[in-house]
């Protein structure tokens, strides 16, 4: 018997304030932050002792001991210990991906409700050692006697083997950082410094206004003395941003990406609760919005495509499947990995050449109303703990749609590895 696909509701989400690495959460780690947001979600929606169908959490940078962060964190959250948990990673799109995983299971009737989220820290990072020392330690472990272990330890040893290796942000295939790749994109699409700084400034001002209006009062849980995001600079000006030096292309004199128009290394966590209409109604929980559809795409950045341009491909595919145009949205939540990345995406959709030759469209995909873009600020002002950003955006957009009463929102997130994760939220 064929099953009917069910609607998937976003009931709501919570997060802790995002902060700069090596500050408030330096000693907390992914486990502590994940427990905090899951516990806060349990508290907010009365889920103590409730068995959910799945908890899907993610972390991009994590220790090997956090092999299943989701399961371990949910066991300390107040949920029923019979709730399953799985840990994932797709760089910056991780927690949006996790929401898609949970939503798909709800839609086909495998589960009735689940939590999607993510946590990331660039403060408590795994430190590893080189191949020679690793092989030496493994050989010592295999040696039978203390004398054999000592011989293995000393044979050919050099103190250089003790030099640690820290996690890098460079793409393994190119050796270039995400910022280096985005600099190339900015030059290709002729995105100037002033436009990037203006977008960054707008993000800070919109986030500050949203805080002052109380929009985040029920979305944020104070943690470690923080009540607001540590990156927020409400007093920032274009003049201040203009004084910052290029952060990536420092030598050519043509670099436009700076610490002011790029996201900084961040710590934080976020999570959202998704459910079927029936499950929510049984518990007296209101649904803020519905996750209508999603799409993932990838680009061949190794051979010249822009590393962060995959959302330009994913969004048209998703909208075509749903009979929608780019202009059929009330809100656009485009992750601000870099101001240049957002501007490159918008320019590509306006380009007749790009839309014809890359997207195979008969006409330009079109423009969006700037007044509908990231209306309460985004990653440039909030911060960007990689695996937490998607859940933050879902919770923000769902609340925006609830406040409006009806409408539709587009989510677009670029990721490392040349991928993009996108989704549609709507409130009938």
Ranges of residues in the chain whose predicted pLDDT is under 70: 1-3, 166-168
Among candidate residues 181, 157, 394, 371, the one with its CA nearest the CA of residue 270: 394
204 is catalytic: no
Residue 166 confidence (pLDDT)? 65
Residue 3 confidence (pLDDT)? 60
Find the radius of gyration of the CA atoms of the chain: 23
Domains of the chain: 178-214+292-427 (3.40.47.10)
Question: The pTM is what?
Answer: 0.94
Residue 300 confidence (pLDDT)? 98
Query: 348: which residues sit within 8 A by CB, 6+ positions away?
Result: 189, 309, 312, 354, 355, 358
253-272 tens-digit pLDDT: 899 999 999 999 999 999 99
Question: Buried b / exposed e across 221-237, counting CB within 10 Å, b at 16+?
Answer: bebbebebbbbbbeebe
63 is catalytic: no
Residue 1 confidence (pLDDT)? 42
Residue 168 confidence (pLDDT)? 64
384 is catalytic: yes
d(CA 53, CA 211): 34
Query: Per the residue annotation, which of 19, 92, 182, 344 is the catalytic one?
Result: 92
């Amino acid at each position: 018997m064929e099953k009917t696909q069910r609607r998937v509701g976003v009931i709501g989400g919570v997060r802790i304030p995002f902060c700069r690495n090596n500050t408030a959460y330096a000693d907390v780690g992914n486990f502590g932050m994940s427990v905090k947001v899951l516990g806060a979600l349990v508290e907010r929606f009365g889920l103590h002792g409730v068995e959910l169908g799945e908890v899907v959490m993610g972390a991009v940078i994590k220790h090997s001991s956090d092999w299943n962060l989701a399961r371990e964190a949910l066991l300390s959250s107040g949920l029923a210990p019979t709730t399953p948990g799985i840990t994932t990673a797709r760089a910056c799109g991780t927690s949006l991906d996790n929401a898609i995983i949970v939503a798909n299971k709800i839609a086909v009737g495998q589960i009735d409700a689940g939590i999607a989220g993510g946590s990331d820290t660039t403060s408590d990072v795994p430190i590893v050692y080189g191949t020679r020392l690793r092989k030496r330690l493994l050989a010592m472990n295999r040696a039978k006697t203390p004398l054999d272990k000592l011989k293995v330890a000393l044979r050919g040893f050099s103190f250089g083997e003790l030099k640690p290796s820290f996690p890098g942000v460079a793409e393994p295939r190119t050796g270039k950082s995400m910022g280096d790749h985005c600099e190339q994109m900015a030059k290709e699409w002729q995105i100037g410094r002033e436009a990037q700084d203006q977008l960054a400034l707008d993000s800070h001002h919109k986030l500050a206004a949203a805080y002052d209006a109380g929009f985040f009062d029920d979305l944020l849980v104070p943690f470690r003395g923080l009540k607001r995001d540590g990156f927020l600079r409400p007093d920032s000006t274009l003049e201040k941003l203009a004084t910052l030096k290029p952060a990536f292309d420092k030598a050519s004199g043509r670099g436009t990406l700076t610490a002011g128009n790029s996201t900084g290394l961040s710590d934080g966590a976020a999570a959202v609760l998704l459910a079927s209409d029936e499950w929510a109604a049984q518990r007296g929980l209101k649904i803020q919005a519905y996750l209508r559809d999603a799409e993932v795409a990838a680009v061949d950045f190794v051979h010249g495509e822009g590393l962060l341009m995959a959302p330009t491909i994913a969004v048209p595919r998703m909208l075509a499947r749903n009979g929608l145009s780019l202009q059929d949205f009330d809100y656009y939540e485009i992750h601000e990995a870099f101001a240049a990345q957002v501007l490159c995406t918008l320019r590509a959709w306006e380009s007749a050449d790009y839309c014809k030759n890359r997207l195979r469209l008969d006409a330009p995909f079109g423009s969006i109303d700037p007044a509908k873009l990231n209306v309460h600020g985004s990653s440039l002002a909030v911060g960007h703990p990689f695996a937490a950003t998607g859940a933050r955006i879902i919770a923000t957009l769902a609340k925006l749609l609830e406040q409006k009463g009806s409408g539709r929102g587009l989510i677009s997130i670029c990721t490392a590895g040349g991928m993009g994760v996108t989704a549609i939220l709507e409130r009938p």
